[in-house]
Chain A
Amino acid sequence: MSATATDASALRPRKPGPSGVLIAGLAAVAAFTVWAAIQIEFTLAPLITNFTNGWEIIQEFLTPNWSFIFRVWEAWVETVAIAIVATFVGVLVGLIFATMASRVTNRSNWFYRVVKVALSMVRSLPDIAYVLIFVALVGVGSLAGILALIMFNIGIAAKLTAETIDAVDQGPLEAADASGSGTISRTRWAVLPQIMPNYLSYCLYIFELNIRASVVIGVAGGGGIGSVIDVQFSRFEYANVSAIVVAIFVVVMAIDQLSQYLRRRFV
C-alpha cells in the first residue's frame, strides 16, 4: 500500500530549480539597476509635485500656432533636401563598405576584420557627435547636417546590407566562381541582384530615419526644421514649437506610409 502512495507522489516530476547562472545574472541586473538609479537620482515624485509648474508650459503647447508651420516652409524643404542627399550618398558608400564587411564578398581575412572594426567604431558614435564635429569643421548650416547624416547612414546601411549579403544563396556565387569571375564581377552579378530588394527597403528605412533625425540635426546646428525648433524654444515660443512638432509627426507618418507602400512593391 505504501508503495502505491509513493508511486502516486512520484507521478508528478519535481520542478527543476533555477540555475545558478540565472540567479547570478538576475542579481547582477538588479544590483546594476539599483546602482544606476542611485547615480542618476531617479525618482518619479516630481511628475506629481512639479506638475503644476510644467502644466503652464504644457498648456501653451496645447494651443499650437498653426500658421507658423507654413511661415517656415523653406526649413521644411531644407529638411527633406538634406535627407535626400544624405540618404543617396550614405547608402551608396554604405553598399561598398557592406561588400567589404561580409566574408561572402571579401575573401581577405585581415581586410574583413579591419573593415568590421572600423564600421563598429563609425556606428558607436551617436548622430549628435557627428553633427557637432562637422559644425566645427564647416560651420553652422545644412552642409554640416548632410555630412553628419552621411556618416550616420554609412554605418547603418553597411551593417544591415552586410548581414543580408552573409545570407545570400551560394548557388550563383559558385556559378560565378566556376566561370572564372573576379571579386568585383562576382559581387556585381552573383550577389547584388540577390540583395537588391532588401537593400532598397533599407534605403527607404534610412530615409525615414533621416527625416526623424532632422530635429536632432537642427538643434545641434545642422540646419533644417530642427534649427527652427531650437530658435523658437530658446525664445519660449512654445505655441510655435508645438505646431512644428505636430507637423513633423504628420510628415513622419506620411513618409512612413509612402515607404511602406514602396517596400511592398520592391520585396
Chain B
Amino acid sequence: MSTANLTQRPDVTPAKRPTEPSKTRSTLVWLGLLALVGVSAWLSGARWSELGSLFTEGWRYFLLMGQGLVHNPFSEPYSEYWTLAFDKMMESVYMAWIGTLMGALISIPFGFLAARNVSGRVTVQVSRAFLNLIRAVPELVFAIVIMLPILGFGPLAGTVALGVGAVGTLGKLTAEALEGIDMGPVEAVRASGASKVSVLRWAFWSQVLPEVLAFWLYRFEINIRASAVLGVIGAGGIGSLLSQLFSKREWEQIGITLAVIVIVTVLVDMISGAVRHRIIAGSAKSERRIQEETVAL
C-alpha cells in the first residue's frame, strides 16, 4: 500500500539533476594562462622557426650519437673515449662527494643556530637570513665570483663552490629537523644534569641524525648533476669535457660521454637511495615526509 502511495506522490518523481557549477572562472584562468604563455613565447625572442630542424637535424645527430655506442668499446679509439668520459665523470663524483661533505660539516653549527628551540630569537633571525642568502645564489655564481679568482681553474674551485652552495639548503633543513623533534628526551637529559653541550649532542642531535644523513645523501645526488655545470666554466669535472666535445661536434664521442653520465648517475642514485632507505627505516619520520621536505633542496 505504501509503495502505491509513494508512486502516486508527485514530489517523489526523480529529483532534478543538480546544475553543474559554473566553469567561467576556470575558463578565465586557463585563457589568462594561455595568453601569458603566448606573450612569453613572443617576448622570449626564441626563433621558433628553428623548431623544425629539431626533427630533421636532431634525428641525424641522434643516430650519430648512437653509432658511438654500438662500436666495440674495446677498440681504438672508442676505448679511449669511454675511459676519458669515465675518468672525468668520476672527477665529478669526487667533487660532489667532497663538496657535499664540506658543506654538510659547515651546515651543522648553522643548523643549530637557526633552530628556534635551540638558539635565541636574534641568532635565529640572523642565521636564517644568512642561509637564505646562500640558498638564493647559484653555485655557478659562487664559482665565478669567489672560487675561480682565488683557487684558480680546476676541480678544487668547483668542489669548494659546491660545498658553500650546500650549506644554505642543508643548514635550513637541519634547523627544520631540529625544530620538529620530540622534546621529551631533551627534558630527560636536562633532568639528569647534563651540560648544554650534552643536551645538544644526546637529545637533539641523536634524534635528527638519520634524517640529516638522508638530506646529505640527497644533496650529494644533486651535487653530482650540479658539478657538471661547473665544468663548463673550467671548474673541473665532466662539464668541461662535454662543452669541448660539443664545440668540436664530435657526435660519436658525445654519445659515449652522455651514456657514461647516465650510467654513473643512475648507479650512484641507486646506491645512495638504498643507503637512505636503510638509514630512515625505523626513524620517527616516514620517508615520504623527508621526500616532501627535500623538494626544497
Contacts and interface: CB of A to CB of B under 8 A. Distances in A.
Interface of A: 32-33, 35-37, 39-44, 46-47, 50-51, 53-54, 57-58, 61, 77-78, 80-82, 84-85, 88, 120-121, 124-129, 132-133, 135-139, 141-143, 145-147, 160, 163, 167, 202, 205, 212-213, 215-216, 219-220, 223, 229, 233, 241-242, 245, 248-249, 252-253, 256
Contact of A126 (B95, B133, B141, B229): B229
B46 interface: yes
A142 B45 CA distance: 7
Contacts, number: 186
Contact of B269 (A82, A120, A147): A120
Interface residues of B, number: 69
A205 to B, nearest CB: 6
B229 A127 contact: yes
A143 to B, nearest CB: 4
Contact of B58 (A57, A137, A163): A137
21 contacts: A32-B97, A46-B152, A58-B149, A81-B42, A82-B40, A82-B46, A127-B225, A128-B228, A128-B242, A129-B258, A133-B246, A136-B246, A137-B54, A138-B47, A138-B50, A143-B47, A146-B46, A216-B229, A223-B46, A253-B132, A256-B136
Interface in B187-228: 225-226, 228
B43 A121 contact: no
A33 B97 contact: yes
B37 A88 contact: yes
Nearest to A39: B94
B84 interface: no
Closest 5 CB pairs of A and B: A54-B150, A54-B149, A36-B94, A81-B44, A124-B265
B262 A124 contact: yes
A213 B226 CA distance: 11
A216 B161 CA distance: 14
Interface of B: 33, 36-37, 39-48, 50-51, 53-54, 57-58, 61, 90-91, 93-95, 97-98, 101, 132-133, 136-138, 140-141, 144-146, 149-152, 154-156, 159-160, 225-226, 228-229, 231-233, 236, 239, 242-243, 246, 249, 258, 261-262, 265-266, 269, 288, 291, 295
A163 B290 CA distance: 12
A220 B149 contact: no
Contact of A77 (B43, B48, B154, B246): B43
Contacts of A32: 97
B152 A36 contact: no
Nearest to A87: B37
Nearest to B227: A126
Nearest to B275: A25
B249 A136 contact: yes
Contacts of A132: 242-243, 246
A229 B231 CA distance: 16
